[in-house]
Structure 1
């Protein structure tokens, strides 16, 4: 097998390339890429449980907890008790996060769109199915 046929290398290389585009655009907000995507997940589902955020972002619970800790420390999110189950905490966007919602969603849409435009709709669906199959293989 040739080195260029290594799936891990190809995906990691692509990930670094895509990540650079996001990092350059979110640096002024003081966010890491992981924090940025956690905020995007919360813009879609404000008040989510950490377990839901882990599922949505394909991250493990300890990683999500660390991201939420840092976002809370920096004033982007806050944890609140779940009124239906006081043992659970939900994660909510703060006024700071809501104030930056549109600029951050614009970054997300523009960078994501830059790469999605390379796919025809049926190619994107096939690629997503392939990625899901790889993710589910473990």
Structure 2
């Protein structure tokens, strides 16, 4: 075995990537029946926190770049999850809102995310879960 392959499993970047792939894949599978992607679910959660925000403000809240968010929003509008409306005070400003479809599934989708998080962390003690989340926040 060469030196590079011996060190790869102990590489922090590699380990984070593998953990992300696993978590992302598991949640993606849970969202498939709803025809939602992980990013689309994140957008819904952001709008449930702050309904009526602009795309720019939502991007800041979710730490998503404008180009990525724009495509996600367009697909979500087309599939009936969200809608855009002109601001009543300034017609040039567009605000984002959830639709009845997303409102009807809000509790179910939030519960799905909570269950996915709990499932992913099930092998950790409470203290390890708290520490793990803190470390992830510190990294981001």
1:106 equivalent in alignment to 2:120: no
Map of 1:3-82 to 2, 5 A cutoff? Answer: 3-82=8-87
Stretches of structure 2 that go unaligned for 5 or more consecutive residues are none
Unmatched tracts of structure 1, length 5 or more: none
The DSSP-based 3-state class of the residue aligned with 2:33 is: helix
Q: Could you say if the C-alpha distance between residues 46 and 119 of structure 1 is closer, same or farther in structure 2, counting changes exceeding 3 Å?
A: farther
- Bigger mean CA offset, 36-45 vs 81-90: 81-90
Aligned pairs, how many? 134
Structure (1 or 2) with the larger CA radius of gyration = 2
Stretches of 4+ moved more than 4 A in 1? Answer: 123-126
- Superimposed CA distance per residue, residues 16-59 of structure 1 (whole angstroms, 9 cap, x where no aligned partner): 11112211211011111111111121122221221222122221
CA-to-aligned-CA distance 1:69-128 (integer Å, 9 cap, x gap): 00000011001112233322111001111111121111111112223453535x555444
RMSD, aligned α-carbons: 2.0
**TM-score in terms of structure 1 length:** 0.83
